[in-house]
């Protein structure tokens, strides 16, 4: 396992107010987002631009190589944990650090199951002033219990043997994750949270049904993870959280077969976010704007 943190010198860090930490489980779309965001930032044509290229951009290069061939990028190995700090500025010259971690999303599951965080995570959490939590709504397991589906007859119920295979519902999993991260940052839960600011990113938005796509991102979260939604609304102060949709590639790519349209138009022509008001924005760099403005 590699433990490497590439970051800017401290004097540069002190000039900035925002350090953004990206949090997401396996298959949540962090890698594709990272590649696409880096591409947009370094193109310097969008709202946010990169200030100087970091020493090691291999984690983005691998993704951009694949995307330029019209293919999807591979899965980040479970034990990998590298971080690239991108120093960015907006059109007014306001600077921020976007701390892009490259880790196997399984680490997020391990944190909740083992109930502990290692030093790399602790440092990342301490430094961060904003969290982006990636959740893939099309992969969530809907809760089906006695509230939304009637119980069978008592005679049938009484014959049942003890059932096994307990696991957290998705909603409870994310609530526990956020409770743990707030604790690790040394924050109590009796006061409303202002810092870190929180953005819930509903990724792979293009895979939602056409009816779902007509809804606001916050209504999708409320519908699919009501417990998490209640928790966020209760724990974070109203202007300190946002819920947005994201499609990094606009479509699904295959890891082996090239998508010619994607190759022809280039990765920068694909991807969009759905802002809090439900408007589609082509500028992927705006996904971090709620932290900065």
Residues that bind another protein (CB under 8 A): 1, 78-79, 106, 110, 113-119, 121-122, 143-152, 157, 160, 162-166, 168-169, 171-172, 175-176, 179-180, 183-184, 188-190, 192, 222, 226-227, 229-231, 233-235
Q: Smaller CB distance to another protein: residue 78 or 263?
A: 78
Residue 106 CA to residue 287 CA, distance in Å, equals 24
Q: How far is the CB of 114 from another protein (least distance, A)?
A: 5
How is residue 134 written in tokens?
């990636």
Q: How far is the CB of 226 from another protein (least distance, A)?
A: 3
Q: Smaller CB distance to another protein: residue 60 or 174?
A: 174
Q: Smaller CB distance to another protein: residue 63 or 117?
A: 117
Q: Smaller CB distance to another protein: residue 14 or 148?
A: 148
Residue matched to tokens 């090691």:
56
Residue 238 CA to residue 290 CA, distance in Å, equals 13
Give the CA angle between residues 261, 267, 272 to the nearest 5°.
Answer: 100
Residue 228 CA to residue 243 CA, distance in Å, equals 12
Q: By the 8 A CB rule, do 18 and 129 touch?
A: yes
Give one word for 242, left, alpha or beta, with left for phi > 0 and alpha for psi -120 to 50. Answer: beta
Q: How far is the CB of 117 from another protein (least distance, A)?
A: 5
Q: How far is the CB of 162 from another protein (least distance, A)?
A: 6
Distances (CA, A) of 157 to 106, 146, 149, 241: 36, 13, 14, 43
Q: How far is the CB of 72 from another protein (least distance, A)?
A: 26
Q: Smaller CB distance to another protein: residue 77 or 266?
A: 77
Distances (CA, A) of 271 to 118, 180, 291: 33, 32, 20
Q: Smaller CB distance to another protein: residue 11 or 191?
A: 191
Q: How far is the CB of 21 from another protein (least distance, A)?
A: 15
Distances (CA, A) of 86 to 34, 79, 81, 259, 272: 11, 22, 16, 29, 21
């Amino acid at each position: 396992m590699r433990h490497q943190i590439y970051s800017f010198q401290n004097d540069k860090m002190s000039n900035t107010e925002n350090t953004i930490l990206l949090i997401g489980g396996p298959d949540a779309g962090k890698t594709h987002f990272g590649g696409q965001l880096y591409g947009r930032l370094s193109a310097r044509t969008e709202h946010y631009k990169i200030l100087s290229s970091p020493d090691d951009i291999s984690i983005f290069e691998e993704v951009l190589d694949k995307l330029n061939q019209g293919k999807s990028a591979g899965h980040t190995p479970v034990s990998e944990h590298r971080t690239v700090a991108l120093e960015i500025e907006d059109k007014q010259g306001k600077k921020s650090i976007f701390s892009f971690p490259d880790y196997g999303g399984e680490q997020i599951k391990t944190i909740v199951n083992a109930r502990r965080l290692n030093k790399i995570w602790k440092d990342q959490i301490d430094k961060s002033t904003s969290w982006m939590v990636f959740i893939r709504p099309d992969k969530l397991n809907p809760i089906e219990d006695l509230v939304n589906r009637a119980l069978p007859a008592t005679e049938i119920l009484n014959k049942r043997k003890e059932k096994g295979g307990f696991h957290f519902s998705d909603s409870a999993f994310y609530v526990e994750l956020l409770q743990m991260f707030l604790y690790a940052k040394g924050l109590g839960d009796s006061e409303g949270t202002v810092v870190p600011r929180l953005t819930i990113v509903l990724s792979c938005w293009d895979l939602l049904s056409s009816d779902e796509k007509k809804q606001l991102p916050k209504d999708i979260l409320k519908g699919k993870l009501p417990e998490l939604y209640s928790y966020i609304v209760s724990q974070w102060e109203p202007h300190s959280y946002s819920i947005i949709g994201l499609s990094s590639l606009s479509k699904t790519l295959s890891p082996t077969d090239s998508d010619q349209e994607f190759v022809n138009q280039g990765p920068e022509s694909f991807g969009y976010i759905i802002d809090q008001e439900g408007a589609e924005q082509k500028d992927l760099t705006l996904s971090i704007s709620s932290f900065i403005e």
